A and B are shown apart, each in its own frame.
Chain A
Amino acid sequence: MSATSLTALAAQLKAKQVSSRELAQQYLDRIAALNPSINAFITLDTEKTLLEAAAADALIAAGQAGPLIGVPIAHKDIFCTDGWLTTCGSKMLHNFVAPYDAHVIQQFKAAGMPSLGKTNMDEFAMGSSNETSYFGAVKNPWNTAYVPGGSSGGAAACVAARMAPAATGTDTGGSIRQPAALCGITGLKPTYGLVSRYGMIAFASSLDQAGPMAPSAEDCALLLNVMTGFDPKDSTCLERDKEDYTRDLDKPLSGLRVGLPKEFFAEGLNNEVAAAVEAAVSELKKLGATTVEISLANSKLAIPVYYVLAPAEASSNLSRFDGVRYGYRAPEYGNLDDMYCKTRAQGFGAEVKRRILIGAYVLSHGYYDAYYLQAQKIRRLIAEDFNAAFKTCDVILGPTAPGTAFKLGEKSDDPVEMYLNDLYTIPANLAGLPGMSLPCGFDGKGLPIGLQLVGDYFSEAKMLNVAHQYQRVTDWHTRQPEGLK
């Protein structure tokens, strides 16, 4: 594919050099050719995609051209999509055709952006490698022996392989940023509350947040303009005026103070990742930024805190899957209780069950204070570290993940080893802060390296400005996997 930036695609559509239908067909052809080896999609529906594209073409012909009208997008299979199979990567929802649209889907439909399909993901977004999906693992387009990261692994892989110009993702502990890093694309988790969670299948409600995934920061800014907005159907969605997240993209970086948390450059960080991130810091300095060392002393507790809070919320959220109203029901059972127990035993995969059990335990009588309450208190300490840091810097920079992509099967038998992947991404979720990952190099094996930016609340425009300026002077984000071009 030649031009893939959303700005370029939108310009071609407006100039009538290509129709939305033609563009969608080009991507569907590429999906047909590449998806069998990548497994980035769970559901494709060519007819629906082309109908939506034809509707966009009609709007373009009528002169109703929004900024991204007619540009196709792939949606993570966590978003309920009216008339589409919506599985959340689980056997529990293998037959669930959503009867309504998530708010995020409504927004993209209103923007005239056809859906290319539903992307693969870790089951109920629980995983960092996309190996827990009931529909099979996703392969990393840079090397199909390696994982794409997770949980939005299908989204990251389909964008990296240019099977879609952009995709939606969700991030509870790093599920947008870590796969973006491992697949060499750009992804942003907004401030908690900016994007409605309505119709987004819940994992840990106080942490879940949807965001855009695309090759560049400029693309992400345009997508964020579509995704954000108040929605009364999500009680935690914030009532704020709509922002234009592209407004600061071209601002110079002179005077920018970049905070480098010493804890993010300590033991456990892969040398090649450290070198690439340090090289990116040098580029930002050339653009006029200064650096300041900061400390996020409690961030080392983020993983234990997260593995109390997220499973606790998950055990409550996932209690709705009982085989009564939708989804899977065990074929044979005795009484009602037996039906619940068998349905849940058969419908959930191993990692989901583990997390439900952890959650049920930490919330159970006699353990609540020692686990759940203690974790909530440390959550505040982690958030306060960030508040203090933002008094001396404008944006925080570090690695997205401690290493690059690992081999399929390498960590799938050791949950704790898998959890450590999200060491640098979880703190922003706990604090509710925006975070993004952008490509900043490759390791010796040719696998992408991701750089993370964490901003203060509602500073997405500034983070996108920093990322865009970096991407103007580097070309990591334009690289594509060999053999897939």
Chain B
Amino acid sequence: MSLTTDDVKRIARLARIETSDAEAQATQTQLNSIFDLIATMQAVDTSGVSPMAHAQEVYQRLRPDVATETDRRAAFQAIAPAVENGLYLVPKVID
């Protein structure tokens, strides 16, 4: 399997990373060598093996539905790139 430059640009688009044609070409070569490495696992017969998502058999813990956090809005907004009147500022989304 081999990725084309268009594949790279499509994935970069999915990942919201702006990528020029030159960057996509350089990345394509490196990704293909990585996917060659990954391809060695395709030959393994895994029929009947259940996928392992996690190292421990853990289950989501539940807790009483009560607020435990204090209001940290000011501290969190102090480190944001752009805020105004307690709101995070981004380019206009709705006309």
Q: Which residues of A contact B (CB under 8 A)?
A: 95-97, 99-100, 192-193, 206-207, 232, 235-236, 238, 298, 301, 303-305, 307-308, 315, 319, 322-329, 333-342, 344-345, 348, 353-354, 356-358, 360-361, 364, 370-371, 373-381, 383, 415-416, 419, 430-433
Contacts and interface: CB of A to CB of B under 8 A. Distances in A.
Given A374-B44, A378-B46, 9 more contacts: A193-B58, A307-B34, A336-B92, A336-B93, A339-B90, A357-B15, A357-B17, A374-B41, A415-B34
Nearest to A326: B79
A348 B36 CA distance: 24
A377 B46 contact: yes
Contacts of B31: 354, 357-358, 361
B33 interface: yes
30 contacts: A99-B78, A100-B72, A192-B56, A206-B54, A232-B61, A236-B54, A303-B37, A304-B41, A307-B37, A308-B38, A324-B80, A326-B79, A326-B80, A329-B82, A339-B90, A341-B18, A344-B17, A354-B30, A354-B31, A357-B17, A358-B35, A361-B7, A373-B51, A378-B44, A379-B51, A380-B49, A380-B50, A380-B51, A381-B44, A430-B55
A359 to B, nearest CB: 8
B53 interface: yes
A419 B31 CA distance: 13
A334 B91 contact: yes
A360 B34 contact: no
B56 A432 contact: yes
Nearest to B89: A324
A425 to B, nearest CB: 15
Interface in B48-87: 49-56, 58, 60-61, 63, 72, 75-76, 78-82
Nearest to A431: B55
Q: How large is the interface on B (under 10, 10 to 19, 20 to 34, 35 or more residues)?
A: 35 or more
Contacts of B38: 304, 307-308, 371
Contacts of A430: 55
Given A235-B58, A374-B42, A375-B41, A341 B16 contact: yes
Q: Is chain A's interface secondary structure helix, strand, loop, or mixed overall?
A: helix
Contacts of B82: 329
Given A333-B91, A358-B31, A380-B51, A364 B11 contact: yes
Interface of B: 3, 7-8, 11-12, 14-19, 27, 30-31, 33-42, 44, 46, 49-56, 58, 60-61, 63, 72, 75-76, 78-82, 88, 90-93
A53 to B, nearest CB: 26
Contact of B58 (A236, A377, A416): A236
Given A329-B82, A344-B17, A192 B52 contact: no
A376 B56 CA distance: 14
Contact of B55 (A308, A342, A361, A432): A432
A348 B17 CA distance: 9
Contacts of B14: 360, 364
B16 A344 contact: yes
Contacts of A329: 81-82
B15 A315 contact: yes
A136 B38 CA distance: 29
B34 A337 contact: no
B49 to A, nearest CB: 4
B54 A357 contact: no
Nearest to A352: B17
Nearest to A346: B18
Nearest to B30: A415
A370 B78 CA distance: 44
A339 B16 CA distance: 9
A416 B37 contact: yes
A336 B56 contact: no
B84 to A, nearest CB: 13
A99 B91 contact: no
A377 B75 contact: no
Given A357-B11, A357-B15, A325 B55 contact: no
A203 to B, nearest CB: 15
B18 to A, nearest CB: 4
Contacts of A415: 30, 33-34
A347 to B, nearest CB: 10
A339 B89 CA distance: 12
Contacts of B81: 323-324, 326-329
Contacts of B54: 206, 236, 432
A315 to B, nearest CB: 6
A328 B80 CA distance: 9
